[in-house]
Structure 1
């Protein structure tokens, strides 16, 4: 296993704003609303280096003592992030009975962002802050609630990071003391990316929605962008729930959760330009070098799929001038609809529309 960790303030590029994750710059279990004061102010086009902290290893059912929790898995005290220790020891305001588990960094005010605009968040880089992570399964959640875990206690499976000739990979022993090791690819991304909602009530951190939040789309790796419908002045953006790896579905409840540092760029797309490019965007929309990725969300997975298909049709109409019948036919022939996650109360589906297919199409 690798041993390096990335502490707050270390190796921050000169001239780029840095947002650490600490009591004054984060929420635990809730997402920002319009009443929250920004902890960072940016101009459109600005970049920021933002630290995020995984909730795994600091929660009450894990002892709320990351040194003891990770120490039991062979992690030395100096390999535990100081900000994880500090937050677990006394972050105020979280009600275990009513709030979510996620630590969220922000909110960030982006000048000129107004309701009706789109906030474009471009992921320039993700850096692993620790060389390990955790996958947990808790009763009442996950794809098989009541079946797993088999007993009353939370099951938290430790996963390491190993350097190979092809880059870092995740490692996991299939059982305690096993000599065999499972290895799997790492694709770091942020599970939570969102904008504030109107009003004075902070949303729970678990269910995603029009504001983004806990969307858990594993395609949001370095080089991709997320478009979010702005709902309040300045957008008040935030990020959190860092992952090193996740399969579509995230069936255990969490995936390989582990702390990241992310370099992000924030741009504002005015409403008229947004409509011309994408149509009426009613929820998060992602973009990679290969795909446009509309989303659908609902507590009912069938309805989430329908929601995603409708959004995909509307996108094809606006972007390339397809009529609805041809848009639906194309989607059926050429587009994958993937389950983002099934464990966050509101289930998520995302479509991968291959932009190369439209190279010769004129609106």
Structure 2
């Protein structure tokens, strides 16, 4: 597979957006998520739009050399297509070996948000910053730990971006060193979107929870929204783990990880309105033009499904007035329950409830 860098430019740090948050050593955490004791790096009002640079961790990690310039040069990527903020974070930031891999930008305080409210994050735009990504598989992780990687070292597969019929696609080699490739559609989204956890201990960046975090729900493309139960005053939101593409399950460990520039609107949904519209929301809830998408999270996949079904029943009861027995019957007849991911210690399941079924 040949990567042609001459066709592309990188979206380096810097923006003329009205409110812009770059990824710098002062605005990111590496491997941990914000908690209630953290000070915000940006403060906005409910309804404000923020442009955020979300940085992929691929090429920055110690087992990849912690030198993005050298790591990507081996794949034929010239220095001008390596992000300057990636180089700076790798050189200047520290990360404990026990922490997660993710570079997390924030926290962003949203004035007036209080526990009991929901924070709504609308995804208004997601711009790829580079024309490539990486899919990694590491020992002890992924859906097949102990079987893959087949060798002694972690495997990081370089994925190029190309165009097909006017749309961007990902390109992976069919075998190491082969010119034969497989092409697949890109659907960029942020794997990490969350609010700060209560208390003074920063959560590990890998397992998702009621705070959101590394939920890896690939439906969160441009034009969708994520609602999260606020845990601390002013919410203290953050983003990270940008993807160009991911299949449900994310079975290798990562998907096509690559940096994005995200344009997001942060809005507070007061408790009274949240209860009326969504019921009691105890974890991440995705809204798309087509679906309401409650989630379930647990270390046990069976329990994750059960949590998701309960969340879906609560949502149908509150929003559409369904009694709980009929809600369960509808879910069984008409709703798909998909595996979000099985590789983040805490597994995720999400349900796709068609809004059009309730138009009448």
* TM, length-normalised to structure 2: 0.98
What does residue 49 of structure 2 align with?
Answer: 47
What does residue 325 of structure 1 align with?
Answer: 325
What does residue 8 of structure 2 align with?
Answer: 3
Deviation at 1:177, TM superposition (A): 2.6
What does residue 87 of structure 2 align with?
Answer: 85
What does residue 96 of structure 2 align with?
Answer: 95
Instruction: Determine if the alignment matches structure 1 residue 71 to structure 2 residue 76.
Output: no
Instruction: Measure, in 1, the Cα distance between the counterparts of 2:270 and 2:172.
Output: 46
SS of the counterpart of 1:313? helix
What does residue 135 of structure 1 align with?
Answer: 135
The 5 A counterparts of 1:241-256 are: 241-256=241-256
What does residue 182 of structure 2 align with?
Answer: 182
What does residue 276 of structure 2 align with?
Answer: 276
What does residue 355 of structure 1 align with?
Answer: 355
What does residue 117 of structure 2 align with?
Answer: 117
Deviation at 1:54, TM superposition (A): 0.4
Deviation at 1:173, TM superposition (A): 1.0
Instruction: Measure, in 2, the Cα distance between the counterparts of 1:281 and 1:130.
Output: 36
What does residue 336 of structure 1 align with?
Answer: 336
Among residues 29, 37, 44, which one is paired with 1:27 in the alignment?
29
SS of the counterpart of 2:164? coil
Instruction: Measure, in 2, the Cα distance between the counterparts of 1:219 and 1:359.
Output: 22
Instruction: Measure, in 1, the Cα distance between the counterparts of 2:141 and 2:295.
Output: 22
Deviation at 1:180, TM superposition (A): 1.2
Gaps of 5+ in 1: none
What does residue 165 of structure 1 align with?
Answer: 165
What does residue 151 of structure 2 align with?
Answer: 151
Gaps of 5+ in 2: none
Structure 1 residue runs of 4+, over 3 Å off? none
Among residues 38, 43, 66, which one is paired with 1:36 in the alignment?
38
Instruction: Measure, in 2, the Cα distance between the counterparts of 1:152 and 1:184.
Output: 29
Instruction: Measure, in 1, the Cα distance between the counterparts of 2:345 and 2:152.
Output: 21
Deviation at 1:3, TM superposition (A): 2.0
Instruction: Measure, in 1, the Cα distance between the counterparts of 2:54 and 2:351.
Output: 27
Instruction: Measure, in 1, the Cα distance between the counterparts of 2:200 and 2:50.
Output: 26
Instruction: Measure, in 2, the Cα distance between the counterparts of 1:351 and 1:48.
Output: 29
* TM, length-normalised to structure 1: 0.97
Instruction: Measure, in 1, the Cα distance between the counterparts of 2:48 and 2:92.
Output: 32
Deviation at 1:90, TM superposition (A): 1.9
Instruction: Measure, in 2, the Cα distance between the counterparts of 1:337 and 1:164.
Output: 31
